[in-house]
Chains A and B, each alone.
Chain A
Amino acid sequence: MWPGETKILLGEGGSGKTLLMKLAAGLLRPDAGNVTVMGQDISDMPEKELLNFRRHIGFVFQEGALFDSMTVADNVSFRLDEEKVDEAEIETRVREALRFVEMEPSMEKYPGELSGGMRRRVSIARALVDRPPLVFYDSPTAGLDPVTCQTIITLILRGRDSQGVTSLLATQRVQDAFGLANFRFDKTTGHIVRDSPNEVRTAQTPARESAQQSAKQSGAQSSPVPPTNVLVLRGGKIYFEGAADELLHSSDEYLKAFLASAE
């Protein structure tokens, strides 16, 4: 993955999306092979080191996985409390994160008092509060109504385009993939806008720019990388990798059937 890129793991239930994410976060260990994340091989990393490593990633679980004995504010501040961040700083950052997901008025509520969509939003705030460079979203729209799905995808878009978060998102919904690929958050207007068909955007970040610069210096051709790419999983294996447009125009029978099933 490129820094700033959003990669979507698309696939039917049981295709291995959650498994892949948990492997990438070091929550599960591979039986064979290696898992390299942010330049570190985490396959055989001891749990103690993995705990430190995971402080650099955010993870949004399928059902939110909020701590049900803690308030929304305590859930969001959990990581900051663990890192012994100053109380005033915690308060500011928690409010900022909850404002980002439009959940600030519910900060004293318990997860049990929230709807499914609200719980996902709090979970996103919890994952983003420490501004991690990499965020994993495990089926954040699963089981939600279409309007709430739209809200969640909008939040992920805003995170990507306003904070430059690199994300790996697992979903069964083709709409999520195309929503992230075809729309962007306009920082100047504060609105979500559709990309124009001729506009070629890239997952442009300082790291990406320097990679392109070195490629240019060595005379290599560098093609723009769209900010959102899709990885279709089938039976635990990668079946397709590319831009959302390529997926849309693919002539592969399985992919066509998969897209048709979503319509």
Chain B
Amino acid sequence: MPEENETLQPVVSALAEGIKRQVQVVQDYAELSFQSLANVFTPPHYWADTLEQMDIIGVGSLPIIVLTGFFIGGVLVLQTASQFERFGETALTGDAVALALVRELGPAITALLVAGRNASGIASELGSMVVTEQVDAMRALGTDPIRKLMTPRVIATVLMLPLLTAVSDFVGLVGGFLVAYFTLRLGPVQFWTRAIHALDFGDLVQGLMKPFIFAFIISTVACFMGLRVKGGTQGVGRATTSAVVVSSVILLVVDTFITRILLWAFNK
């Protein structure tokens, strides 16, 4: 038995060390995220940097959001219509597209696209600044890098993602309508009336609340990954990949829980 214990000891200590490291990472992330939020309420504020980030994140992401939103709406109609046709209920297509887009697909897909485009951009930009000592230079000049670099990116993402989601939902419905019109011969009045009536207050709250949470996750994870880069350009590459993967996975996991809570809250 003592021999067995001796063999197990290094494994156990390595495991404990690994868990400790992960807990430390979560703690650092929580601390940094809290700091970035707390900065919103105290001066100095970097409004010019925030506006610049809003332009990069919001306006810059608009083309891909419009393009993908349109085709997601279209493909959703194609998929649901084939099912509804079996029961002769193609008129319900508008309901299905509206509910799926506004409640779930709009927020989730927009967030995933923004994560792919902007989380990678934020992590690589901040990571490059870390490896070239620009972040240290900022600290040496008496400026808080979290306040100057992270907070504007978090505010910009949190303000822009709900707007992008709203655009994506609308364009998706337009795409869905066009596909329904040309393939199912569904009239505009029929499609839009059903689509609008299918949605109630709870659906809108669900669809517009999620982007705020997703935006916070995307921006804080991206900044965290960027600001803790180690290992030169290779480290920047790793941080960029991690920022996209980790933020995408976390937001999908969180999405499940928020959906459950909101469905319960609105008695759905």
Contact = CB atoms under 8 A, between A and B. Distances in A.
B141 A79 contact: yes
B142 A54 contact: yes
A71 to B, nearest CB: 15
A216 interface: no
Interface in B136-167: 136-144
Given A61-B137, A65-B137, A82 B132 contact: no
A54 B139 CA distance: 8
Nearest to A59: B140
B82 interface: no
Contact of A27 (B44, B132, B140): B140
> Which residue, B137, B140, B142, has most C-beta atoms of chain A within 10 A?
B140
Instruction: Assign chain A's interface to a size class.
Output: 20 to 34
B85 interface: no
B17 interface: no
B133 interface: yes
A74 B258 CA distance: 44
A126 B141 CA distance: 9
B142 A67 contact: no
Interface string A117-155: 000000000100000000000000000000000000000
Contacts of B144: 47-48, 51
A65 B136 contact: yes
A57 B136 CA distance: 14
A25 B136 CA distance: 10
B139 A82 contact: no
B133 A79 contact: no
Nearest to B146: A47
Interface string A95-136: 000000000000000000000000000000010000000000
Contact of A63 (B44, B133, B142): B133
B141 A54 contact: yes
Contact of B139 (A51, A66, A67, A126): A51
B134 interface: yes
A55 interface: yes
> Which residue, B129, B132, B133, B142, has most C-beta atoms of chain A within 10 A?
B142
B136 A82 contact: no
B140 A25 contact: yes
A181 B133 CA distance: 30
B134 A82 contact: no
Contacts of B143: 51, 78-79, 82
A77 to B, nearest CB: 11
Contacts of A68: 132, 134
Interface of A: 22, 25, 27, 47-48, 50-52, 54-55, 57, 59, 61-63, 65-68, 78-79, 82, 126
Nearest 6 Cβ contacts at the A-B interface: A59-B140, A55-B142, A65-B137, A65-B133, A54-B142, A79-B141
Given A51-B142, A67-B134, 9 more contacts: A51-B139, A51-B144, A52-B142, A54-B140, A55-B141, A61-B136, A78-B143, A79-B141, A79-B142
